[in-house]
Amino acid sequence: MATVAQSAPAPLPAGVSLWRWGLRRLLRRPLMVVCVAILAVVVAASIAAPWIAPYSYETIDLALGPSPPSAEHWFGTDTLGRDLFSRCLYGGRISLAVGIVGTLVSLIVGVLYGTVAGYFGGRTDELMMRFVDLMYSLPYLFLVIILLVFFSSSIVMLFVALGLVQWLTMSRIVRGQVLSLKNAEFVQAARLAGSRPARIMLRHLLPNMIGPIVAYATLTVPTVILQEAFLSFLGLGVQPPQSSWGTLINDGAGVMGLFPWMLFFPAVILAGVLFSLNTLGDGLRDALDPRLR
């Protein structure tokens, strides 16, 4: 968050990379440490779900039905008597996987696209960025909904549909960075030394843009997770008996008056993760910005 008071500008110590220095600065802020801790716990628990989940996520216990949180079922059980804690853990695997894969797609496509457009400039740039403008003006979430309704809503389809759109902003950011860097002296030197464009892009431009790229990627993960939850809420995400945080919230919202815990736990987890990622992304952007030294 931009609100946390910036620490006084410290000179960059000799022999410390921008990276390590930025991380050090980031971790000096208590809020950031809390966010890292929240994420670490949730991610570790989700990955370890098959080993630490006390129950299967699909075992139905109709005799038990919906029961409030207890020693046997920490988060209670849902209307079909399934253990909510286990379902939240397994749901985390899917929500996080969607967020990470969607971000990776956006990272790869967006960085390549933006670098090429910015580096070559002129006609190429004009054309490529016009295409981005065009894509921007599509009501894409509607197209995603149509895509998911008309073709079965498999997880792969979800990955493709969400990743395909997220790269637009990334490509704009990267292009802007390239434009401001490509006439720098070190790039000219590399060009004079006979480096080919691909090498200049990968070896000289990319390392210098890593800060903004990482910061924006961190902000993309919560966006994608949120969109998956949004689609799941409409019944288009993962299909039962599988769960994601979005489907769990959807299930819980319907019976909130009777069994509030079914909404409470998944909602708190989702909000906590989104909050941590948003806060970390903002923090990283500040911490990796050399101008804020």
User: Token digits for 91?
Assistant: 């749901």
Burial class (CB in 10 A: 0-12, 13-18, 19+), 139: exposed
Cα distance from N-terminal residue to C-terminal residue, the chain: 17
User: Pick from 17, 71, 142, 156: which binds other proteins (CB under 8 A)?
Assistant: 142
* Min separation Cβ 226 and other proteins, Å: 6
- Say whether residue 138 binds other proteins (CB under 8 A): yes
Cβ–Cβ < 8 Å for 265, 75: yes
User: In this complex, which beta carbon is closest to other proteins, that of residue 187 or of residue 273?
Assistant: 273
Where does this chain touch other proteins (CB under 8 A) — which range of 92-100, 171-179, 182-190, 272-280?
272-280
Where does this chain touch other proteins (CB under 8 A) — which range of 78-86, 109-117, 148-156, 204-212?
148-156
Within 8 A by CB and 6+ apart from 284, the residues are: 22, 26, 211, 214, 215, 218
User: In this complex, which beta carbon is closest to other proteins, that of residue 3 or of residue 183?
Assistant: 3
Place of tokens 């079922």: 73
Per-residue interface string for the shown chain with other proteins, residues 224-243, x marking contact by CB under 8 A: --x--xx--xx---------
Angle at 206 between CA 200 and CA 209, to 5 degrees: 135
- Say whether residue 37 binds other proteins (CB under 8 A): no
How many of the other CB atoms lie within 10 Å of CB of 101? 18
- What residues numbered 76-135 form the site for other proteins, per CB under 8 A? 133-134
DSSP secondary structure string, 240-262?
TTS--HHHHHHHHHHTTTT-THH
- Say whether residue 253 binds other proteins (CB under 8 A): yes
User: Pick from 122, 150, 156, 192: which binds other proteins (CB under 8 A)?
Assistant: 150
For binding to other proteins (CB under 8 A), which residues are involved? Answer: 1-3, 5, 133-134, 137-139, 141-143, 145-147, 149-151, 222, 226, 229-230, 233-234, 246, 249-250, 252-253, 256-257, 260, 263, 267, 270-272, 274-275, 278-279
